[in-house]
Amino acid sequence: MSAFPLHFGKYLLLRPLAKGGMGEIYMAGLGQIGGFEKLCVIKKVLAEKADPSKAKRFLDEAKVVLRLSHSALVNTFDAGEVEGEFYIAMEMVEGKDLREVWNQCVRQRQRIPIEVALHVAREVARVLAYVHGYGDLKLVHRDIAPPNILLGYNGDVKLTDFGLARSALKEEKTQPGVVFGRAAYLAPEQARGEEADGRTDVYTLAIVLWELLTGQQYLPISGLDPSAGLALVRHPKPTPPSIRAPWIAPELDRVVLRALAPDRQQRFQSAEEFRLALSDVIAKVAPRTDPARVVELMQAVFQDVINKERAEREHLLKDVIPAFRASSSAPPARERPTQPSVAHDKPRSASQSNRTPARTVHATPKPPGPREENHDGSDGMRLPGVTPVPVAVDGRAAHREAALRVLAELAAEDAAPTPSPVQARK
Which letter, b or e, does each residue of 213-238 get, where b requires 16 or more Cβ atoms within 10 Å of its Cβ? bbbeebbebeeeeeeebbebbbebee
Task: Note if 143 is an active site residue.
Answer: yes
Given the residues 97, 143, 197, 253, the one annotated as active site: 143
Distance in Å from the first CA to the final CA of the chain: 18
Closest alpha carbon to 94 in 158, 37, 31: 158
Q: Cα–chain-centroid distance for residue 345?
A: 56
Strand 38-46 and strand 23-30: the pairing is antiparallel
Closest alpha carbon to 128 in 269, 247, 227, 309: 269
Closest alpha carbon to 28 in 92, 86, 80: 92
State the DSSP H helix or E strand holding residue 410, giving kind and residue range, or none if neither. Answer: helix 396-415
| 92 close to 211: Cβ distance less than 8 angstroms | no
In whole angstroms, give the CA distance from residue 124 to residue 113. 17
Q: Cα–chain-centroid distance for residue 350?
A: 50
Handedness of CA 413, 415, 421, 423 (dihedral sign): negative
What single letter denotes the amino acid at residue 281? Answer: V
State the DSSP H helix or E strand holding residue 64, giving kind and residue range, or none if neither. Answer: helix 52-65
In whole angstroms, give the CA distance from residue 213 to residue 114. 6
Which letter, b or e, does each residue of 274-306 get, where b requires 16 or more Cβ atoms within 10 Å of its Cβ? bbebbeebbeebbeebebebbbebbeebbeeeb
Q: Which residues are catalytic?
A: 143
